Structure 1
Amino acid sequence: MAEVSVAADDEAALPPGAPSTDLLSLHESIAGVLATQGDWRRAYHHLKSAFDLARAGSLRDTLTSSYNRRYLDQWLHGPSVERRGPAGMAIALVDLDLFKEVNDTFGHLVGDRVLREVADLLQQGLPSEGFCARYGGEEFALVLPDVDHAHAVRIADTARIRVAHHPWARIRPGLSVTISVGLAHENRAEVVEPERQLRHADSLLYMAKRAGRNKVAYHDKDSSRTIPRSMNSADSPGA
């Protein structure tokens, strides 16, 4: 039996930017061909690459391509104290305001597109070690390591403004989208369990909702605050 040549060993058979599912299938196919030729070392290499791609895919949300709840849980229950950095760490829970009305008015396909675009907007401007994860439904979590309290508030409010100012009407006339954010910051010296910090962010998120939505709620020293503080507040990135 003639030996089969594997021309796609370096993934050159796929166009740039090919989906990871295609890369996974390619690695599996190459591994099968190499195994039939007795080249077990290279077959193992491609099987390992397929496994790594499958694992990476299992940590991504299929709709928005942001990280999923599984990745968030793994990160928070890992050595997160060491990852906080000297300035501490913030967790922000983000919820799309009145998202059910978006689905009811414009349909679920538009709702899905809104979720994808909000995820993209939330991932902009994060610190190098920060990330966005879909927490569930229309909720997202922002994990912001090594940021002080003031910086965390700026990141959260800039994200709020970015979403509110996004040209949603280009998707459908009359469409507008805002988010509410609950932001919980802990100093490095405050070793807080991840569940407690998440619960804190969740309670602040509900505070932002009760204050009228399209707000960021956070603790400032001994009190809780929201921004903007009134519906007439200046609402621009420089405000």
Structure 2
Amino acid sequence: MIIEETTAVMDADRSSLFLIDGEKGEMWAKIAQGVEVVEIRFPLGKGIAGTVGKTGEVINIPDAYADSRFNPEFDKKTGFRTRSILCVPMKNMSGGTIGAIQVLNKKDGLFGADDEALLTALASQATVAIENADLTTRLRELNLSLEQKVRERTAQLTDANDQLKDLNRELETIAITDGLTRAYNRRYFMERLKQEVKRLSRYGGTPMSLFMIDIDHFKKVNDTYGHQAGDAVLAGLSELVRSKLRDTDIFARYGGEEFALIAPETDHAGALVLADRLRSMIGQTAFDHSSRSLKVTVSMGLATWTTELKDDFEKLIGLADAALYKAKESGRNRVCW
């Protein structure tokens, strides 16, 4: 399912998902050869996917046969002709690389920066899905173990239940959290925004405000310092902002370098104060990566719920998006509404 969706979304001829076997120092994948599905393995660091798995860096190759890292063995066996390759790492919440996703031959040209960003986002979603599946398996195994041993070792039941609760909490957290930044993911953000707007429409009260936040010139960070540096900025910015918010605020990664913030019980005046404080704080903070300290600025679009909006949360998003566009068109590093 992941591979089929990736191939379609990326408009590519083929896609592959490789996972790292840390104990053996290998990468592996299951691929179709005729009517059979076979498992392939190769050393970590070998070939395109192996290099991405080892370094955690994106590789974008416009001409496969001109790159010494490319292994044409698969083409020889299948008759497939590889032209261009885009391969990105799959990273977990701790920043470790668990595998790589590779797409071959974009149908309408070469893979560009937008394709790199899109495939990186797809890889993040695939990582969450795989880790969710692993957690589900672990939960199922633990439940079976409890059923088998409960009559024999009642004294161990409390500890096992604690483990089960921890796994459930971990699973719930992964399901609503962006793997890289540890901010909430877009799906959870949309659910909470719908709930908040519906509550205000029905019961009234102090309005809520919505912030759309975009990192200025983020592509230059990736192009100049590499995607790992870009990831460090995203993760550091998220940690910084989350440390300054209330427990009731909902801060989420909306997509790529864009974040969103729901501030309940915050009117327009209060939202302006908060937005400018966050903007200033981000601009003054250096985010460390390797031996470098990187600084970025952000543009913000702000919209506050009013009774005229009723429960139309999409219109509220549209207002905040329009304000963000205004901030970027007005020179960036500013708050608009």
Q: TM-score, normalised by structure 1?
A: 0.71
Q: Which AA in structure 2 matches 1:214?
A: N
1:146 paired to 2:265: yes
Q: Which AA in structure 1 matches 2:145?
A: V
Q: Distance in 2 between matches of 1:212 and 1:200?
A: 19
Q: Distance in 1 between matches of 2:144 and 2:190?
A: 35
Match of 1:237 in 2: none
The answer to whether the 8 Å contact 2:309/2:316 transfers is no
Match of 2:253 in 1: 134
Q: What whole-Å deviation, never above 9, does each CA across 1:110-151 have from its counterpart, x for those lacking one?
A: 100000011112223324411200000000000001011111
Match of 2:193 in 1: 76
Match of 2:286 in 1: 167
Relative to structure 1, is the Cα distance of residues 49 and 164 closer, same or farther in structure 2, using a 3 angstrom cutoff? closer
1:55 paired to 2:172: yes
1:181 paired to 2:300: yes
Match of 1:33 in 2: 145
Q: Distance in 2 between matches of 1:170 and 1:109?
A: 8
Residue of structure 2 aligned with 1:195, choices 314, 320, 325:
314
Local SS of the residue matching 2:294: coil
The alpha-carbon deviation at position 172 of structure 1 amounts to 5.2
The answer to whether the 8 Å contact 1:181/1:205 transfers is yes
1:115 paired to 2:227: no
Count of aligned pairs between the two proteins: 199
Match of 2:48 in 1: none
Match of 1:213 in 2: 332
Q: What whole-Å deviation, never above 9, does each CA across 1:84-116 have from its counterpart, x for those lacking one?
A: 872201000000000000000000001000000
Provide the aligned C-alpha RMSD in A. Answer: 3.3
The alpha-carbon deviation at position 162 of structure 1 amounts to 0.7
Q: Distance in 2 between matches of 1:138 and 1:47?
A: 35
The alpha-carbon deviation at position 191 of structure 1 amounts to 1.9
Q: Which AA in structure 1 matches 2:303?
A: A
Matches for 1:12-31 after TM superposition, within 5 Å? 30-31=142-143
Relative to structure 1, is the Cα distance of residues 168 and 41 closer, same or farther in structure 2, using a 3 angstrom cutoff? closer
Local SS of the residue matching 1:78: helix
Structure 1, unaligned stretches of length 5 or more? Answer: 1-19, 219-239
The structure where strand makes up a greater share of residues is 2
**For the pair shown, which has the larger CA radius of gyration, 1 or 2?**
2
Q: Which AA in structure 2 matches 1:77?
A: K
The answer to whether the 8 Å contact 2:213/2:258 transfers is yes
Once the two structures are overlaid, the 10-residue window that deviates more, 80-89 or 42-51, is: 42-51
The answer to whether the 8 Å contact 2:232/2:288 transfers is no
Q: Distance in 1 between matches of 2:196 and 2:212?
A: 21
Aligned-pair identity (%): 35
Structure 2, unaligned stretches of length 5 or more? Answer: 1-131, 152-156
Match of 2:208 in 1: 89
The answer to whether the 8 Å contact 1:204/1:217 transfers is yes
Q: Which AA in structure 1 matches 2:143?
A: A
The structure where helix makes up a greater share of residues is 2
Say which structure, 1 or 2, has more relative contact order (CA 8 Å, 6+ apart): 1
Q: What whole-Å deviation, never above 9, does each CA across 1:28-87 have from its counterpart, x for those lacking one?
A: 554332222255999788657644532331100000111000101111223533268722
